[in-house]
Amino acid sequence: MYKFAAASENELIVFGSARPGYTKKQVNEWIKFMHNQGIQRVCCLLPETQLAGYSDLLGVYRQVFGINQVCWAPIKDFNIAAPEILVYQILPFLAIANQYKEKVVVHCSGGIGRTGHVLVAWLIAGRGLSNKSAIAAVKHTGRNPYEAVIAAPFKGQNPWNVAAELNRLLDECHRFKNKLL
């Protein structure tokens, strides 16, 4: 349900998911599902344009999970995270969850692309996996960290350039891992 799965088969703390539905009832059902999975933190990747369909999704998250238990790190659909947002906002939030052994869910809209590359980044920086191993582990869970690369031509972008940007971002995660482990 909600495409909920751990970042990898062996991951016990960081999970990925699709967003909740737009109605208050659907949001509450999503939250209940996450609580039943032991989730204590939420990292929401939805930009303002995708939050507009909700009454106050981030406010509800902060009320239910706690103000310090919610990270809002907007990434546009079919895009890669900005390095400063990934390295200085998302990864530290996931590292704190790991330090306190608090399960955290990362979600975008569909739970595939943006969530996928953030989970790959976590497995590299937080678990010490190689790029190749982290990508394979995340793809095995049904996510596609290359979604932005695949969508690039439809946005008038060169997919090779987007792939290179993703690789640079993941390489940056290797430099950050000694600070997280």
Domain spanning 5-180: CATH superfamily = Protein tyrosine phosphatase superfamily (3.90.190.10)
Give helix then strand counts, H and E, for the chain: 9, 5
CB 73 within 8 A of CB 81: yes
Neighbour-count burial of 140, counting CB atoms closer than 10 A to its CB (0-12 exposed, 13-18 middle, 19+ buried): exposed
Tens-level pLDDT at each residue, the chain (181 residues) = 999 999 999 999 999 999 999 999 999 999 999 999 999 999 999 999 999 999 999 999 999 999 999 999 999 999 999 999 999 999 999 999 999 999 999 999 999 999 999 999 999 999 999 999 999 999 999 999 999 999 999 999 999 999 999 999 999 998 877 666 5
Ranges of each domain in the chain: 5-180
pLDDT tens for residues 30-75?
Answer: 999 999 999 999 999 999 999 999 999 999 999 999 999 999 999 9
Question: What does pTM read for this prediction?
Answer: 0.96
For the chain, state the CA radius of gyration.
15
